[in-house]
Amino acid sequence: AAAEKGNYRHFMQKEIFEQPDSCGRTIGAYTNILRQTVELPGEGADAIDWSEIKHLYMIACGTAHYATRVAEYWFEQCAGLPVKTDIASEFRYREPALAKEGGLALFVSQSGETADTLAALRYCKEQGLKTAAVVNVPTSSIAREADLVLPTLAGPEIGVASTKAFTAQLAALAAVAISAGRAREQISRDAEIRLVRALTELPRLMSTTLQLDERIAELSRDMAKASDVIYLGRGVHYPIALEGALKLKEVSYIHAEGYASGELKHGPIALIDEETPVVFVAPFDGLFDKSLSNLQEVAARRGEVILISDAAGVRAAGETPASRIELPDCDPFIAPILYSLPIQLLAYHVAVEKGTDVDQPRNLAKSVTVE
């Protein structure tokens, strides 16, 4: 197995650095570059008439759940589709009220074997709902049982903490949201061209972003001393904050929480002191001003702010954040995919700094096939 790691110390590190390729492959499978359109791969991709769908349910566990939380914004914005996301273990026991007419249940899973997600899929089928699954393992139970399979082409993921599978899930879901938006006539042909172009630019932007590795390793030395870390984000970056906190917990064992920036005043601000790093995931988009005022509130309470943004965001924040990570400019549509990389690198380097078993963190399993 050591050989398969190539020049990397850990599978997690190798998989983080594979993302320009794994995302590029996934995007390639969902887009027609010449025509600048989305074309869903796989047999029966036309089985879903998006113009007939009235409710989309997205069900998953762990990191895959956070992919659905990002996609929720995309399906609402691009396709005007009412969405409900759920954790599979909650969904399956709740006897949820489902829209059987026009309801589509979409499951997201790297392994395709997560017990709760599989049980939720079977439940939806019994209820007569149409089902689709975004899966990384094409031979898995979830792939076999769903009506429609939407593959991610991340390749085998060995590190227990999911990285390249997550960004591949996001890339696939973004493409599906564009396709749904076109079918539902919620986005114009011009908008489709812009969004497809943004997706195809992603691998190159990911490569540039990965050059921040050294800088992030530097920042991780201080963070490794913290006992709590807070991650904040707004809009599509709120689920990225949740995923950032999950990644850090999983591999470094440091307690971390993700919150929507706007919730700061409703509790988490009480936790702020000099000892608590606060990571802001905030590109310079339409919500940046709001994030900046949250950031200033944290800094005013002597919180140690780490801003992850772009050139304009870093400039606007000035000297207020203690540290800054500056990503290349990108289309806001794909920003949550790009901003996943620095939070993965941060978790990885903090874990290395702490000397944990990065690829096999204590108590965790790659695939939870029992309840």
Tokens for 342?
């620095």
Here's the x/- map for ligand G6P, 7-46, by CB under 6 A: it reads as: ----------------------------------------
Min CB(112)–ligand G6P separation in Å:
7
Min CB(212)–ligand G6P separation in Å:
23
Q: Quick check: 360 binds ligand G6P (CB under 6 A)?
A: no
Q: Quickly count helices (H) and strands (E) in the chain.
A: 14, 12
* Cα distances (Å, whole numbers) of residue 302 to 114, 232, 245, 260: 42, 16, 21, 20
265 is catalytic: no
Which is nearest to 295 in space by CA: 304, 286, 239, 226? 304
Burial 110-142 (b: 16+ CB within 10 A, else e): bbbbbbbbbbbbebbeeeebbbbbbbbbeebbb
Interacting residue with ligand G6P among 58, 79, 161, 241 (CB under 6 A): 161
Q: Quick check: 115 binds ligand G6P (CB under 6 A)?
A: no
Q: Quick check: 119 binds ligand G6P (CB under 6 A)?
A: no
DSSP state string for 295-345 = HHHHHHTT-EEEEEEEHHHHHHHTT-SSEEEEEPP--TTTHHHHTHHHHHH
Of residues 98 and 364, the one with the C-beta less far from ligand G6P = 364
Q: Quick check: 89 binds ligand G6P (CB under 6 A)?
A: no
Contact 284, 309 (CB under 8 A): yes
Q: Quick check: 160 binds ligand G6P (CB under 6 A)?
A: yes
Q: Per CB under 6 A, which region of 10-18, 108-116, 205-213, 336-344 contacts ligand G6P? A: 108-116
User: Which residues, other chains included, contact 267 with Cβ-Cβ below 8 Å and sequence gap of 6+?
Assistant: 259
Q: Quick check: 175 binds ligand G6P (CB under 6 A)?
A: no
Min CB(83)–ligand G6P separation in Å:
19
Q: Quick check: 87 binds ligand G6P (CB under 6 A)?
A: no
Q: How far is CA 43 from the centre of its chain?
A: 26
Contact residues for ligand G6P (CB under 6 A)?
A: 61-64, 109-111, 114, 117, 160-162, 364, 366-368
* Residues noted as catalytic: 366
